[in-house]
């Protein structure tokens, strides 16, 4: 019989898959090490089990204990799987820029997740680093593996990823490329490969908004390099102990947009349905390969995780267009719609103290199906739509005499003037029947489904 004693034993031994399309015109053999074959669908399974087992050996956690970690999701999932096997509880702290799927996935495997603000300093007591440390101090028999500074992270890759890459390329590897977050992946793997062959070139992929590249090139930790970015899992505003700059020959920075577009190409052209930072790794590595790779060279690019975690982001066309990452067809914009309408009368609203029957009269008189509701100061505080008010009246006819403020729905969403019809239509649904937009003169206009239909059928 061939079977594994537990899911933990299936970690590692991931395949190398040759890239065939996205590297067209580039010399050499380019291989992807596809880490979504791990049971937690990411490279982080490797370090999760190693950090726990090293801590057990050092007596840092006893049976029944709690594992606490600040994680962008993948390490959490690996830790959660390992914890299930070993009988530990898990609490994870995450930055609120992380995808909702990552949070849901952690909760699905029984972990508690504490969501913390993204745009605060690492030392701020609200940051996900600080909250993890505080919980570790407060909860007895808890372990804070700290993937950033815990060298079990690098050692896991030195003992598994490095030897696998060396074995599977028959020692012919010439270049190794990986995104850098904690640094464990690239430094552990690079250490092993360079011990076998010091000529192996290691390329660290970094994001705009992160400190690594400048630090490698100048030795300066430049706070000016730090600003918010969207790619998840790589780039840092700290220097983790797992980053050993002597093992990384050079860094290349990749934009959020180029990374997202390359991830989508990997899915559609190579059948590799991968995460966002995989696009970073391949885009940056190919940029280098285009200039430097020779026919006999063998480059391995490590792809850390799976695409399912990014379905609502880089694999969602509306999201991509909203962020300016996809050129949309020549659709009209919100600006075009309101200019064409030449709405001199401005926006019709009603006050929240008006009764439901008076509001219905306004809808009828104006020939409109929905209307924003304002408070005494003129601020929009809610909305009323003919179909929802009809349903409410059927349930309870007496509401016709109550103020609309008591039965109104949420205010319609405000959108930007440059959003195109395809994006606007994705924002109109059963809950949100219309959209609001402010023009250049701060006048508010409403955009309904009828406006979108008119704009698209021109």
Ligand X SMILES: Cc1ncc(COP(=O)(O)O)c(C=O)c1O
Name the site residues for ligand X (rule: CB under 6 A): 72, 74, 179-185, 232-234, 275, 277, 304-305
Tell me the backbone φ, ψ of residue 351, rounded to 5 degrees.
-75, 155
Going by C-alpha positions, the residue among 225, 153, 219, 217 that lies closest to residue 182 is 153
Beta carbon of residue 305, minimum distance to ligand X (angstroms, whole number) = 5
* E strand residue ranges, 58-166: 66-70, 89-95, 112-116, 142-143
Whose Cβ is closer to ligand X: residue 274's or residue 424's? 274
* E strand residue ranges, 234-297: 250-254
Beta carbon of residue 306, minimum distance to ligand X (angstroms, whole number) = 9
Whose Cβ is closer to ligand X: residue 45's or residue 322's? 45
Catalytically active residues, by annotation: 44
Residue with tokens 């300093």: 121
Whose Cβ is closer to ligand X: residue 66's or residue 74's? 74
Please give the Cα distance from 10 to 257 (Å, whole number): 34
Beta carbon of residue 122, minimum distance to ligand X (angstroms, whole number) = 15
Where does 128-177 have alpha helices with state H?
A: 128-138, 152-159, 161-168
Beta carbon of residue 106, minimum distance to ligand X (angstroms, whole number) = 13
Where does 160-253 have alpha helices with state H?
A: 161-168, 184-196, 212-218
Whose Cβ is closer to ligand X: residue 65's or residue 307's? 307
Indicate the Cα dihedral angle 188, 193, 194, 198, nearest 10°: -170
Beta carbon of residue 454, minimum distance to ligand X (angstroms, whole number) = 43
Beta carbon of residue 94, minimum distance to ligand X (angstroms, whole number) = 11
Please give the Cα distance from 387 to 40 (Å, whole number): 45
Whose Cβ is closer to ligand X: residue 72's or residue 374's? 72
Whose Cβ is closer to ligand X: residue 145's or residue 181's? 181
Please give the Cα distance from 228 to 211 (Å, whole number): 12
Beta carbon of residue 257, minimum distance to ligand X (angstroms, whole number) = 17
For 183-208, b/e burial (b = at least 16 CB within 10 A) is bbbbbbbbbbbbeeeeebbbbbbbbe
Question: What pairing do the DSSP bridges indicate for beta strands 201-207 and 175-179?
Answer: parallel
86 C-beta neighbours (distance < 10 Å), count: 17
Residue with tokens 């690079």: 190
Two tokens, residue 370: 């929905």
- The secondary structure of the chain in percent helix, strand, coil, rounded to multiples of 5, reads 40, 20, 40
């Amino acid at each position: 019989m061939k079977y594994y004693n537990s899911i933990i034993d299936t970690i590692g031994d991931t395949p190398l898959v040759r890239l065939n399309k996205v590297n067209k015109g580039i010399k050499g053999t380019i291989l992807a090490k596809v880490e979504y074959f791990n049971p937690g669908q990411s490279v982080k399974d490797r370090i999760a089990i190693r950090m726990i087992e090293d801590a057990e050996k050092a007596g840092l956690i006893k049976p029944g204990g709690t594992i606490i970690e600040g994680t962008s999701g993948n390490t959490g999932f690996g830790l959660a799987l390992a914890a299930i096997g070993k009988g530990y509880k898990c609490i994870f702290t995450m930055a609120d820029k992380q995808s909702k799927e990552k949070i849901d996935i952690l909760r699905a495997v029984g972990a508690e997740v504490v969501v913390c603000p993204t745009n605060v300093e690492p030392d701020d007591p609200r940051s996900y680093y600080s909250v993890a440390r505080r919980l570790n101090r407060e909860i007895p028999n808890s372990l804070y593996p700290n993937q950033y500074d815990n060298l079990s992270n690098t050692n896991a890759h030195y003992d598994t990823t490095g030897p696998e890459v060396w074995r599977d390329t028959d020692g012919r590897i010439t270049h190794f490329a990986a995104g850098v977050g904690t640094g464990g992946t690239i430094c552990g793997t690079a250490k092993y490969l360079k011990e076998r062959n010091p000529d192996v070139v290691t390329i660290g992929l970094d994001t705009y908004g992160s400190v690594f590249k400048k630090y490698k090139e100048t030795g300066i930790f430049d706070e000016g390099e730090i600003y918010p970015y969207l790619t998840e899992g790589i780039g840092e505003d700290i220097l983790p102990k797992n980053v050993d700059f002597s093992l990384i020959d050079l860094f290349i920075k990749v934009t959020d947009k180029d990374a997202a577009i390359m991830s989508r190409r990997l899915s559609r052209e190579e059948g590799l349905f991968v995460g966002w930072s995989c696009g970073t790794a391949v885009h940056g590595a190919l940029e280098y390969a285009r200039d430097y790779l020779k026919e006999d060279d063998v480059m391995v690019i490590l792809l850390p995780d799976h695409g399912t975690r990014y379905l609502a982001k880089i694999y969602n066309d509306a999201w991509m267009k909203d962020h300016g990452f996809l050129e949309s067809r020549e659709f009209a914009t919100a600006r075009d719609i309101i200019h064409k309408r030449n709405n001199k009368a401005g926006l019709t609203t009603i006050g929240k103290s008006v009764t439901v029957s008076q509001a219905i009269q306004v809808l009828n008189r104006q020939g409109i199906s929905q209307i924003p509701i304002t408070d005494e100061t003129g601020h929009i505080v809610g909305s009323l739509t003919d179909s929802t008010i009809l349903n409410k009246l059927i349930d309870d006819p007496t509401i016709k005499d109550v103020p609309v403020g008591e039965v109104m729905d949420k205010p319609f969403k405000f959108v930007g003037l440059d959003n195109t019809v395809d994006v606007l239509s994705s924002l109109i649904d059963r809950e949100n029947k219309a959209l609001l937009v402010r023009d250049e003169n701060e006048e508010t206009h409403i955009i309904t489904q009828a406006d979108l239909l008119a704009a698209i059928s021109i």
